[in-house]
Amino acid sequence: MPSVLSYGGTDYFSQLSTGVPEYYQSASGLRIIEHYGAHVADWLLSGSCPTQAFEHGIGRGDKTLALLQHLQATNASFQYVGIDCSRPALEAFGARVKPNTNGLVRLIHGNANTYIGPKLAEEPGTVILVMLGGELGNEENPAAKLDEYWHMLPPGGKLLVGYHNLDVPADRLLTSYNDPGGVTAMFILNALTVLKDTFGGDIDPSKFGYHVRLEPDGRIVMSARSLIAQRVAVGSTINQTLDLEVDELIRISTSWKWRRDDFRHMATQAGFRQDFCFSDKENLTYLVGLTKSQAA
């Protein structure tokens, strides 16, 4: 099931990012930008003009606002395009963006994977894809996605990517996706409600629980667990029926984690040069700058 469905129609992710202490990912990423933002802004603006940045999933936008402040402080000209599937999140973020003279900020409601396409290779100047949270980690095949981005970007194109450290103790890592207050569970299981509201069918979200596990390959897998034996029908264009046993899982979201050297190797294999790698003091989260090499 597409993980993007979890974001629809609610502010659960905002609650998760700001009100759940076990979910360290957002706060640690923000600390990196607050500390290294001036360096990141200089790197983003170091290519040929004009500079155009496209962010894949703004969410609450705390990290984006911090980055924009550093970009605006340079007095360089840039265009920043933020894309998110949650309209409430975009509207809330838009109300927080301060007008400025040197940077144009545009907000687009939609799926970033649909908006960001091969046309980027034809854009003038420096083109940058920005993923400050765990968006790359939410991909089914992150290595293949990096390869896709390499082909999308023009020569000299850049990726600014945040990701989370696999070497965090497993119990802390799992608790960050299974908080005692159940906010993560509500966020993930919201996908069932959005699926029903969007496509119709016979789905009762109350008949599902939440399940999370850490796979040996470094993935956190979040699923809906069937509480009873049941038949689930999804209407409209999907037109699919599932017969579920008790405790059978429907995978909703994946979040890959990497060790520092493993991520760098994956990026290099895709044809990117890693220009920097910053982390918070606890090494919970990394922010890396990647530049497209001339040949993959």
pLDDT in tens for each of the 296 residues of the chain?
A: 666 666 665 677 778 888 889 999 999 999 999 999 999 999 998 876 778 888 887 877 889 999 999 988 888 888 888 888 777 778 888 888 876 655 688 888 877 777 777 667 667 677 889 999 888 999 999 999 999 999 888 888 999 999 999 999 999 999 999 999 999 999 999 999 888 888 888 889 999 999 999 999 999 999 999 999 999 988 766 678 889 999 999 999 999 999 999 999 999 999 999 999 999 999 999 999 999 986 55
Closest CA to 235 of 264, 201, 204, 271: 201
Are the CB atoms for 23 and 187 separated by under 8 Å? no
Domain map (residue ranges) of the chain: 13-167+257-292, 170-255
Q: Which residues of 205-230 are buried (b: 16+ CB within 10 A; e: fewer)?
A: eeebebbbebeeeebbbbbbbbeeeb
Report d(CA 190, CA 12) in Å as an integer.
9
Q: What is the pLDDT of residues 205-239, one digit of tens each?
A: 999 999 999 999 999 999 999 999 999 988 766 67
Closest CA to 46 of 260, 268, 276, 265: 276
Structure tokens at 256: 């890959």
- Between the CA atoms of 170, 31, 129 and 167, what dihedral angle is there, to the nearest 10 degrees? -20
The per-residue DSSP string of 20-49 comes to -TT--HHHHHHHHHHHHHHHHHHHHTSSSS
User: Would the CA dihedral through 145, 223, 85, 237 be positive or negative?
Assistant: positive
Distances 140 to 23, 112, 121, 187, 237 between C-alpha atoms, Å = 22, 15, 24, 19, 23
Are the CB atoms for 205 and 193 separated by under 8 Å? yes
Could you say which architecture CATH assigns to the domain 13-167+257-292? 3-Layer(aba) Sandwich (3.40)
Half-sphere exposure of 265 (CA within 13 A, CB side): 5
Q: What pLDDT does residue 103 have?
A: 65
Question: What DSSP element (H or E) covers 189?
Answer: helix 183-199
What's the first-to-final CA gap in the chain, in angstroms?
31
Distances 283 to 165, 188, 203, 279, 291 between C-alpha atoms, Å = 7, 26, 41, 5, 23
Q: Which amino acid is at 210?
A: Y
